[in-house]
Amino acid sequence: MVEGRPVPSYAGRPLLELVGIGKSFGRTAANRDVHLDVWPGEILGILGENGAGKSTLMNIIAGLLSPDVGKILLNGETVRFSSPRDAAAAGIGMVHQHFKLIGSLTVAENIALGDARWGRGMLRLTSLRKEVGALAATLGVAVDFDRRVDDLTVGEQQRVEILRALSRRPRLLILDEPTAVLTQDERLGLFRLIADLAERRMAVIIISHKLEDILENCRRVVVMRQGSVVDRAHLAGRNRADLVRMVVGEDLPAVVGSPERAVAAAPLITVENLTVRRANGTLAVDGASFALLSNEVLGVCGVDGNGQSELIQALTGMVQPASGRVHYHLQGVRDGWQDAAMLRRLGLCHIPEDRHRHAILADLPLTANYLMTHLGRREFNWRGWLRRRAVHDRVAAAISAFEVRAPGPHARMAELSGGNQQKFVLAREFACAPRIIVAAHPTRGLDVRTIAFVRRQLMRMRAEGAGILLLSADLQEIWEMADRVAVMAAGRIRGPVAVSETTLQDVGHWMTAR
């Protein structure tokens, strides 16, 4: 519970009740006989591993899906939502983990969509800027109403989603992974605002894999597993370990670090005075210089939108720098800029920050997704002929080795939960024992078990001599995994410095350019 806030007392009847909700997709039961209640003024936490049925249940409440069985009661009255518009009209808002924004429109236009307050046809954008701008200031978030959504980073897009939902003053707000890409200050601002809204009798449901979000802000928690509610608990006296056991049914093994890196470790990437510009010509990276060494994790953090994404794009060959030099100490490397395909052949792999846009093809099978980065290998492609059996066998082995829950190699990627999609991406990227691993937010939006798995795999690759550039918005993750840390602020890089020689407070000051 937010410090200083009184514990709410619930009387009367719940704002929302779910009675016996069931939902299946083909032979797969996503929800089974789910009973749930949420009270006015309550902040309720929902926990569960990826694939536990949380998002399906929330999509039913928000009108995106219809239940096969069961009923929804709002203020004691049975309701049926045929669309998100119906749910919104009833006072239900949802911020999805995977955003519902239209990339070709501006921030202001996205916020105005479907909201009659801002007019029909000709939009009253001046009024929108004033009202939503005041809300953003309360939250402590900077917003540029005139930028196109396609030009925003993932973190900036999430802030727009949160602002859009809160601007509609819902009676019930559902937040699916709301703090995945927020800084600590932004996270605290969001929860202060939520606590204020709860005091005004708005109900909030929070789905989060960050257990601290639940422990610090919720009075009750509901735990789901394999589509069913398996536990309900008041959070007074509970700690993080208690929640982990509730979610996974056991204690998780610790992430085991590799042996200490040798002082004289060889560089794998040397960056000298690198400058990168955005598509609109503005300066994103301003004179960055650093080195990534073998057998180390170099953490890069910063407030989202300060040049981290553009730095990653330049290092992985996705964009050409405006000036400066990047040298890859890999066998066969040529002087000059290297594109992504060449770098991959030389031994660099990339785990992108936006899995759905840059790492997977959701409608294609796992075999096709595996070939995205391995099609040129003789093992699978002999003189233009695809060796389907070899692909099938290698994907089956990857599924087994990385504990991917999938029906088989020919399952569509969209059939997998987000955590299993990410594990498959790791299996594909690590298949050729890369020397350099560029990992951007590799655990964002994953459950506690999958986070631990991904971190163990990264540390295994470090122990085998790889150099890992880890971009993360989670400072605790940086502190648990990195040997050195660098901070980006206003396009400039501070560090790197050994994690043992700095503090979280120092890094927080650097992130805000102080």
Are 443 and 474 contacting, i.e. CB atoms less than 8 angstroms apart?
yes
Mapped onto helix, strand or coil, the DSSP state of residue 363 is coil
pLDDT attached to residue 242 = 86
Question: In whole angstroms, what is the distance from residue 246 CA to residue 47 CA?
Answer: 9
On whether the CB atoms of residues 215 and 2 are closer than 8 A, the answer is no
Q: Which CATH number fits domain 1-6+15-91+170-181+203-251: 3.40.50.300, 3.10.129.10, 3.50.50.60, 3.30.70.380?
A: 3.40.50.300
Provide the residue count of the chain.
514
Of 286, 377, 291, the closest CA to residue 323 belongs to 286
Query: Distance between CA atoms of 330 and 435, rounded to whole angstroms?
Result: 8
Contact 434, 345 (CB under 8 A): no
CA distance 26 to 29: 8
Would you give the DSSP letter of residue 244?
Answer: H
Amino acid at position 306, single letter: N
Do residues 371 and 361 touch, judged by C-beta distance below 8 A? no
Segments making up each domain of the chain, as ranges: 1-6+15-91+170-181+203-251, 253-347+432-514, 359-431
Q: How far apart are CA 409 and CA 397, in angstroms?
A: 9
CATH says 253-347+432-514 is which class? Answer: alpha beta
Q: CA 33, CA 229: separation in Å to the nearest integer? A: 8
Q: Among all chains, which residue has been given the structure tokens 């395909």?
A: 341
**C-alpha 101: how far from its chain's center?**
16
Q: CB 381: neighbour CB atoms within 10 A?
A: 16
Cis peptide preceding 84, ω within 30 of 0:
no
Distance CA 94, CA 421 (A): 23
User: At residue 174, what are phi and psi to the nearest 5 degrees?
Assistant: -105, 125
Provide the H-helix boundaries in 53-122. Answer: 54-61, 84-89, 107-112
179, 203 contact by CB (below 8 A): no
The residue type found at 323 is S
Rounded (10°) CA dihedral 122, 127, 129, 133:
-150
DSSP letter for each residue of 113-125? TT-GGG-SSS--H
Q: Are 40 and 33 in contact (CB under 8 A)?
A: no
Q: How far apart are CA 421 and CA 419, in angstroms?
A: 5
Measure the CA–CA gap between 491 and 377, rounded to whole angstroms.
38
Domain 1-6+15-91+170-181+203-251 identical in fold to domain 253-347+432-514:
yes
pTM of the model: 0.70
**SS3 of residue 224 by DSSP:** strand
Residue holding tokens 């122990």?
Answer: 463
Average pLDDT per consecutive 10 residues, the chain (514 residues; last block may be shorter): 43 87 87 94 90 88 92 92 88 82 86 77 80 82 84 77 84 86 73 85 89 90 91 88 80 51 72 90 89 94 83 92 91 80 90 88 92 84 84 93 91 88 94 93 86 93 94 85 90 89 79 62
Rounded-to-integer distance, Cα 256 and Cα 289, Å: 30
| Cα(259)–Cα(236) distance, integer angstroms | 39
What's the rounded Cα separation, in Å, for the pair 238 and 242? 6
